[in-house]
């Protein structure tokens, strides 16, 4: 009698927040991206978390996982990491996430562990590889709207806000089988200069990079300004993006464990 099927484990990089509870007291919390981890579970992966892992443990911990997920957060990547001073006093940063995520990104790419970053997570990926970010998209002239309204409902916040256009003949066009599609957008930062080894795969109509990947097709390492984990069941492009990540994680597990790879049942045909 065979045992339960192996499940790929995905390291969801934690965020660190000072939150106010019902009593009014503020307390530090370590949190995981909720939508991202639920999507991982619903697509047959198992979220894992190693918060504040010291650098000397990263190699060993990475050896036991099949993917890295860099989810969204309302904090910003520290601009001092690419040589700029913060433009606005109200920015919130997460220095512990920056330190762990950026070291982990570089190691994961070197070890060919799949990496998926969306929203703030895509900014982690870009800055980890030497790129830079626009700090405040709302203050730039001629931009389509890439940020949410504080009075919007949650569904409105994650609804499609503008279109993105794939690089003709590029990898994202092949994955999604679409050249242009509507996408969500809800962050004030965005790619200014792509990091070393990264290739743009889609842009908004204002020219902002909306999707990029590591240049080597043998390594799945993608960043998205938008949120493919929201609406992945019904949005064709999102579903196919998430299927590609799940497939990469399963392939990694097969290499890591020697277990036969199970066929992927696509969420979106």
Task: Check if 134 is active-site.
Answer: no
Q: Which of 102, 119, 123, 146 is catalytic?
A: 119
227 is catalytic: yes
Beta bridge partners of 213: 199, 222
Which tokens belong to 68?
């890295």
Question: Of these residues, 102, 146, 187, 227, which one is catalytic?
Answer: 227
Task: For residue 142, give the DSSP letter.
Answer: T
- Pick the catalytic residue from 102, 229, 235, 249: 229
Distance CA 260, CA 269 (A): 23
Q: Which residues contact 89 (CB under 8 A, 6 or more apart)?
A: none
What tokens does 45 get? Answer: 């992966």
> Please, what is the Cα angle at 123 between 118 and 127, to 5 degrees?
145
Strand partners, 180: 165
How far apart are the C-alpha atoms of 210 and 225, rounded to whole Å?
A: 5
Contact predicate 180/237, CB 8 Å: no
Cβ 122 vs Cβ 82: under 8 Å: no
Catalytic residue list: 119, 227, 229
């Amino acid at each position: 009698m065979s045992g339960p099927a192996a499940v790929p484990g995905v390291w969801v990089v934690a965020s660190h927040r000072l939150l106010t509870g019902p009593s009014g007291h503020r307390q530090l919390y370590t949190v995981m991206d909720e939508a991202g981890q639920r999507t991982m579970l619903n697509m047959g992966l198992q979220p894992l978390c190693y918060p504040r892992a010291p650098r000397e443990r990263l190699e060993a911990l990475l050896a036991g996982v099949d993917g890295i997920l860099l989810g969204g957060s309302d904090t910003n990547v520290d601009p001092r990491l690419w040589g700029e001073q913060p433009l606005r006093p109200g920015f919130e940063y997460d220095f512990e996430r920056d330190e762990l995520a950026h070291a982990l990104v570089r190691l994961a790419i070197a070890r060919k562990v799949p990496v998926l970053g969306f929203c703030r997570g895509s900014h982690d990926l870009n800055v980890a590889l030497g790129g830079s970010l626009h700090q405040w998209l709302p203050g730039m002239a001629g931009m389509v709207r890439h940020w949410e309204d504080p009075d919007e409902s949650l569904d409105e916040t994650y609804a499609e806000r503008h279109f993105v256009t794939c690089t003709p003949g590029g990898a994202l066009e092949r994955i999604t089988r679409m050249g242009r599609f509507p996408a969500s957008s809800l962050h004030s930062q965005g790619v200014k200069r792509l990091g070393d080894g990264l290739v743009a795969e889609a842009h908004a109509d204002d020219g902002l990079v909306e999707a990029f990947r590591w240049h080597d097709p043998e390594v799945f390492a993608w960043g998205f300004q938008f949120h493919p984990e929201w609406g992945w069941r019904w949005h064709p492009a999102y579903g196919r993006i998430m299927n590609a990540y799940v497939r990469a994680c399963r392939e990694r597990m097969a290499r890591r464990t020697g277990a036969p790879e199970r066929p992927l049942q696509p969420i979106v045909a």
